[in-house]
Amino acid sequence: MNQRPSNGPEGPKRAGDYSGPEAERIIPKMNHYPMDIQHYAGHWKYFPEYNCRYLKGVVYCETPKEQNLQNFNLFVPKAYLNEDGSVNLEGVCGRFTAETAPIIMQSSVMGYSEAPAGMLRADGRGPDQKLATAFLASGMIYCSVGVRGRQTQDAQGNYVGKAPALLTDVKAALRFYRHNKTHLPGNTDRIIFVGVSAGGNLAALVGSTCDRAEFEPGLREIGAVMDESDAVYASQCYCPITALSHADMAYEWMFRGQYKTEGTPIDPAGKTLTAFQRRLSEELAVRYIRYVNDLGLSDPATGQALTLGSDGRSGTFYDALLRELEASATKYLRLIRENSPKVISCTPAQYVSGDYTMVRHTPGGDQVSPGIDKSTWLSWDGEAAHITGLSPMLLGVAKRMKNCPAFDSLDLQEFENEEFGPSSQKLSHFNRMMASVLEALQNDFPEESEKYLPTYRAIQDDPLLMEQEKLLNPHSFIGTGTENLCSHFRIRAGSMDPHTSFSTAMLLAYNLKRAGADVDFAFVWEAKHGVCDYEGELMEWIQSIL
């Protein structure tokens, strides 16, 4: 159904799916799964390539809807466990012991799809391999949590993985781990959750809804341990696809005036927005300006009020975004100047003029492309980078990728249309303000209005959607009490990522700061959608907060 370039016509497959013996994960159906890790005592195995012991398929709730998803795989540096799976309290690995080791939890969720627990592979080619390898080598415990997703169905065909199932599942896993902490290594006061994209939103949610009562009914439904905390210590959010109820507006504000999507291998010509969609885009962009201005945000550094000018390309909010982008370009260009292996090899001037070759290392091999001339919007004064404007930068390096609307698609074609709605229904609209937007276009576009308006009107006051929207949006919780926020957030977003508006990650960071959280936020220059980071910096951050 979905026409995303990176995900293929069916949308992403289950993120943790890969072939090979390590991928087997058939868990027999039981009425009640044990919540006692001792049940798995004889099942620990040794993984020589990682010098770790691992346990596969630990079902973390008593009555899962899908036991092959609602389980985790746990990888523990060998030193922390005896051969029989009991904790070796004397065990030391890197800076940590079996008692002090932090626990890194991750879910491989992509595109709000269901994601089985990830398994490390002997050949080193699993999706989350690189990070996991580094965690284990430095003495951290790694736990990959499987979660339900938008297409998960039970035996009766009900869609049981819609919002907020992925978050409920991670909470259940956290509670299970704590419930068993006397028989498991690691410090449950130092759990750090890591997620990318939809998983980046998940990470933001895990970190901003610690022990919130709103999730208890969902936890009870799957038989989670109810008398344990689901708090985490820190959260790493990469490219968070967050605040879905405002994402359509944000996208049109960011790509205002770009009326064609970038071509892809499966859709080389790209899509051209119709006259109706252009007006819709404009209307959404204008509403985003109002929305931002009503937030009452201020600059975390200076306290200055952050607002957008009526053109959407001026005002303190816009300036703040440009400053964040400039900071990210400055870091990159300084690394170029220092000839760092972390970036390409050329001079800063050559980088600006496009006189270089870009080599990206991807799992499928190196991708080589010619440099891009950025001199019309990017300059370098020897110390700092300057960007003249968002629109020319986007046209240069991050063209529009999604149709309009970008998330709650007119014809229900986006991932998110499967993420919301009742369990009896595969697809649903979820942008409850779209009806009022379409009403504004009714006179000029009667035909389209007749086609689309009733379907958006039908969901305008839908209580289930209101609840799902609330539970899947970290902003619903941020600012309502610091006791539900984890201690540290790190947010990274790619400066070449057109999956959502740049303002989305920035708003998450600024709102968290406003609520008093410790937030390390940055755009990563030249980075696309995914684990966008400079080598080693996540690990440095983890070390710094421990």
Which residues of the chain form contacts with ligand DHB (CB under 6 A)?
Answer: 110-112, 197-198, 241, 415, 499
Residue 111 CB, nearest distance to ligand DHB (Å)?
Answer: 4
Calculate the alpha carbon distances from 503 to 232, 321, 474 in Å. Answer: 26, 7, 15
By beta-carbon proximity to ligand DHB, the closer residue of 106 and 188 is: 106
By beta-carbon proximity to ligand DHB, the closer residue of 67 and 417 is 417
Burial of residue 127, with CB atoms counted within 10 A of its CB: 0-12 exposed, 13-18 middle, 19 or more buried: buried
Contacts of residue 278, defined as CB under 8 A and 6 or more positions apart, other chains included, come to 259, 404
Closer CB to ligand DHB, 97 or 495, in the complex: 495
In angstroms, rounded to a whole number, what is the distance separating the alpha carbons of residues 86 and 41?
8
Q: How far is the CB of 28 from ligand DHB (least distance, A)?
A: 30
Minimum CB distance to ligand DHB smaller for 91 or for 498: 498
User: For 85, left (φ over 0), alpha (ψ -120 to 50), or beta?
Assistant: left
CB closer to ligand DHB, 239 vs 308: 239
CB of 2 to ligand DHB, least distance (A): 9
65 vs 499, which CB is nearer to ligand DHB? 499
Q: Give the tokens for residue 3.
A: 């026409």
Least distance CB 196 / ligand DHB (angstroms): 7
Helix (H) or strand (E) holding 259: none
Q: How far is the CB of 244 from ligand DHB (least distance, A)?
A: 8
Give yes or no for a contact between 183 and 166, defined as CB atoms under 8 angstroms apart: no
Closest separation between CB of residue 402 and ligand DHB, Å?
A: 7
Pull the structure tokens for residue 379.
């300059």
CA–CA gap between residue 70 and residue 310 (Å, rounded): 47
Q: The dihedral of CA 56, 61, 63, 67: what is its sign?
A: negative
Between 110 and 234, CB nearer to ligand DHB:
110
- Closest distance to ligand DHB from the beta carbon of 129 (Å): 18
CB of 248 to ligand DHB, least distance (A): 11
The nearest distance, CB 144 to ligand DHB, in angstroms, is: 16
Cβ proximity to ligand DHB, 102 vs 240, nearer residue = 240
Measured from the CB of residue 61, what is the shortest distance to ligand DHB in angstroms? 24
Residues 6 or more apart whose CB falls under 8 angstroms from that of 298 comprise 304, 305, 306, 514
Give the nearer residue to ligand DHB in terms of CB position, either 197 or 236: 197
Closest CA to 161 of 394, 517, 371, 415: 415
User: In Å, how far from its chain's centre is CA 240?
Assistant: 4
Task: Output the CA–CA distances (angstroms, integers) from residue 280 to 251, 411, 447, 498, in the order listed.
Answer: 12, 14, 14, 19
Closest CA to 328 of 502, 507, 197, 203: 502
Which is nearer to ligand DHB, 111 or 348 (by Cβ)?
A: 111
* Residue 300: HSE in the Cβ half-sphere, 13 Å Cα cutoff: 19
- Cis previous bond, 405, omega within 30: yes
* Residue showing the smallest CB distance to ligand DHB in the complex: 197
Q: Smallest distance, Å, CB 17 to ligand DHB?
A: 15
- Give the helix/strand (H/E) hosting 205: helix 198-208
Query: Kind of pairing, strands 52-59 and 71-77?
Result: antiparallel
The b/e string for 410-442 (b: 16+ C-beta within 10 A; e otherwise) is bebebbbbbbbbebeebbbbbbbbbbebbeebe
- For 73-112, the DSSP string reads EEEEEGGGB-TTS-B-TT-EETTEETTT--EEEE----TT
| CB of 96 or CB of 502, closer to ligand DHB | 502
Least distance from ligand DHB to the Cβ atom of residue 225, Å: 28
What is the CB neighbour count within 10 angstroms for residue 374?
20
Residue 110 or 505: which CB sits closer to ligand DHB?
Answer: 110
Which residue in the block uniquely carries the two structure tokens 């899962």?
64
Cβ contact 2:10 at 8 Å? yes
